[in-house]
Amino acid sequence: MDVLRGIWESMIEPHAPLPLQAAWLTILASALLVLVPVIWHVTRHGITIVHEGGHGVAATLSGRRLSGIRLHSDTSGLTVSRGRPRGPGMVFTLMAGYTAPAVLGLGAAWLLGRGYDVGLLWLLLVALVLLLVQIRNWFGLWSVLVAGAVIFAVSWFGSPLVQSVFALALTAFLLLGALRTVMELQRSRSRGSAASSDADQLARLTHVPGIFWVGVFLAVDLACVALAARFLGLV
């Protein structure tokens, strides 16, 4: 009980915000995680976890039955749910993937703007535990466990400064990574190698061109970035 009480107290105790210069340096470091190809090949797995988790949450909220989630070593993933093959629930489920990292980043920025760095990290850890029970392959299991171990280590052993820097870096990574994956999606579509992408599945369901849905993903992600910057006091 003392341990749980200590965790709860650390979650609700706000931290002072990072100095503006330190905040921008942290965001720059996160940008490198997204922009440098050799690094992005590894860090993109984090975006895939959130992407597939977004599909899973949307499927559950729309009344579909979540059958499981697979994460693959090539940074792709697959979320399987059962229910009506058409209709609003399926549309909502498909829309959630490419917007989930930015929406989560926006929520994280809202918490950070109020000083709840540690609270954010523990909430993310809980989300990973809930996701873990839906994973249906070994690589996916390993990916989620590694992500959870990193977040736990920072939450439990990190100093307040380390926790604040890590929380901001993770938030910026989610927001910037969301934008990059949408751009990668359209690049793959333009090459004709993404016929089963979320955008093209939405196009077949709604009879609205896939490029429209790519635009929707991008608009949502950009809006989240803009709002997050305000929550963090960067603009």
Run means of pLDDT, 10 residues per run, the chain, 235 residues: 73 86 96 97 97 96 94 95 89 96 98 95 96 96 97 94 96 98 94 85 94 97 98 90
Q: Per DSSP, which regions of the chain are E strands?
A: 65-71, 77-82
pTM over cut 0.75: yes
Amino acid identity of 66? L
- Can you say whether residue 207 is alpha, beta or left, with left for phi > 0 and alpha for psi between -120 and 50 degrees? left
Distances (CA, A) of 36 to 39, 41, 59, 181, 218: 5, 9, 33, 14, 21
**Distance between the two ends of the chain, CA-based, in angstroms?**
42
